[in-house]
């Protein structure tokens, strides 16, 4: 089962990482100023993850593949890791779809 892990960045912002059942991070969020905003980001992932049109696929300057998951307003909700291959990236997208719907939410290092 997947997990959303909420943590605090060094600058005090909150972020979440979606981890697959094996503990691997498959999606990372932007920074949020409040816990409410961070939780809204998680709910946006749950809402948009099943829709293929919400995934924007890219190739980085070093030739590796990654994707962004976008909300209906076009804002990036989360970004994937870098993948060595297109098929790896496609598997990452499928993992976000599979793990986000029922993922539990956990908090780490919150003050």
- Angle of helix 35-48 relative to helix 86-100, nearest 10 degrees, comes to 110
pLDDT, tens only, 13-36:
999 999 999 999 999 999 999 999
Q: What is the CATH number of the domain that holds 83?
A: 2.30.29.80
Are 45 and 36 a contacting pair, CB within 8 Å?
A: no
Domain holding 20, by residue range, is: 3-107
Q: How far apart are CA 22 and CA 41, in angstroms?
A: 22
Number of domains in the chain: 1
Q: What is the pLDDT of residue 110?
A: 46
Are 9 and 35 a contacting pair, CB within 8 Å?
A: no
pLDDT, tens only, 36-81:
999 999 999 999 999 999 999 999 999 999 999 999 999 999 999 9
């Amino acid at each position: 089962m997947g997990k959303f892990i909420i943590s605090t960045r060094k600058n005090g912002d909150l972020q979440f990482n979606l981890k697959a059942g094996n503990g691997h991070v498959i999606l990372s969020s932007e920074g949020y100023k409040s816990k409410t905003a961070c939780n809204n980001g998680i709910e946006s992932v749950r809402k948009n993850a099943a829709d293929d049109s919400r995934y924007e696929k890219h190739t980085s300057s070093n030739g590796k593949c990654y994707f962004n998951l976008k909300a209906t307003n076009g804002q990036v909700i989360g970004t994937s890791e870098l993948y060595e291959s297109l098929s790896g990236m496609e598997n990452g997208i499928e993992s976000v779809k599979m793990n986000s719907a029922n993922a539990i939410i956990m908090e780490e290092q919150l003050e």
